[in-house]
A and B are shown apart, each in its own frame.
With several copies, the nearest count.
Chain A
Amino acid sequence: MFKPLDRNGIAARIARDIPEGWFVNLGIGIPTGVSDFVPEDREVIFHAENGVIGIGPAPAPKDINPYLVNAGVQHITLRTGGAFVHHADSFAIARGGHLDLCVLGAFEVSENGDIANWARSPDEPVKQVGGAMDLAVGAKRLWVAMEHNTKGGGESRIRRVCSYPLTAKGVVRRVYTDLAVLDVTPAGFVVVDMVEGLTFEALQERTEATLIRGASR
């Protein structure tokens, strides 16, 4: 028997793998929670698309500064040592390869590292792109945080080929799901880690793409 991670569990698992000194952008959804699980004494510098470098913890309601929000338009604080830049400079950080890591949510990831996270169909009437395409192609490494399977049908989001419109091609390095941690390699998805009690075979059963056993499995 095994217990899938909840959304916080995925966020905490990701936080474990972020070393001190990295510049990191966290997407909306599960990724936003990652910063809560980085210990305060480990200096990781979080960036937001709207020009904030060095996001601190959420403020107490009485300390809210209306001039200070993140890319999800939530009130934030700034860490000592943080800085503000304008939107083009902020995306120069994202697109110019200066982020050590970006963590995005997604609908699907394919075995060659494609990510689909902005539309469920090419015919969707209104497109919600935001900054994901910029971050996906620009960061030094892209990790994805998502549930392994869709909610209703239990279909695999870990795909041979993405069925949804792409955000970017061949950019995902690693996927953190509620069941496992998978590396995207030239040979395909390699299983780095699984939740306790889950077997490789059971994971493969829940996964459309063919998985490869990692060194420790």
Chain B
Amino acid sequence: MIDKFVSTRAEAMAGIADGSVILLAGFGAGTPEYLVAGLIEQGAKDLTLVVNAGGRDDGPIADLLASGRVKKLICSFVRPASVAGRLYQAGNLDLEIVPQGTLAERIRAAGAGVQAFYTPTAADTLLAEGRETRVIAGRNCLLEYPIHGDVALIDAWEADRWGNLTHRDSARNYNPIMAMAAKMAIVQTAHVVPLGAIEPANVHTAGVFVQRVLHVPG
């Protein structure tokens, strides 16, 4: 019987290696905060963190950055007055700024087996400096590569033992695409439901993309 549930946070985070690329979902809502605390506890270091934004002075992203375990941050923006902003300006954090839609598309590309794609986003900006561009159908485009994760930290509203998930309201955001893009998608779910309880037509993230699920009642 397939059963992707694990019973402890330590079990959920087991085996994350130093140097891993961590995809962290969430955008105001839908951040798996309990798993982020677990990652800090687990102790893997030299991580590359991929997340929508660099966070503020507190909260899970700030905590993870402040733990000193993150070597490189890939995100769409960083506030100068934030843990991330200060670490970067002090030379203690590598930073790759990616337009938010390109970030989402690069993550989706990793999940979908797309090896690279051209987008007009950022093609005529500073972010294109020194990079490969190409005019397609009259528009200047920038070549972008997929962002693969070793681990994705995922938030869900409901999960079954096959790892089928639903996400609540706008807490969906990066969760489905980050689960797709990582070798190991680790989920914290508010609710556990029996197999078949989620309508087959309304599964938001299919179990094929999920490796471990931890029940974290809300």
Contacts and interface: CB of A to CB of B under 8 A. Distances in A.
Contacts, number: 200
Contacts of A126: 78-80, 85, 88-89, 95
A54 B88 CA distance: 37
Interface residues of B, number: 70
Contacts of A50: 27-28, 170, 173
Contact of A130 (B77, B114, B124): B77
A62 interface: no
Nearest to A20: B2
Contacts of A95: 101, 105, 112-114, 119, 121
A166 B29 contact: no
Interface in B66-100: 76-80, 85, 88-89, 95, 97-100
B28 A73 contact: yes
B208 A134 contact: no
Interface in B152-180: 157, 160-162, 164, 168-177, 180
B111 A78 contact: no
A83 B120 CA distance: 27
Interface in A93-126: 93-99, 119, 122, 125-126
Interface of B: 1-2, 27-30, 52-53, 76-80, 85, 88-89, 95, 97-102, 104-105, 107-108, 110-114, 119-127, 139-140, 157, 160-162, 164, 168-177, 180, 195-196, 198, 200-201, 203-204, 206-209
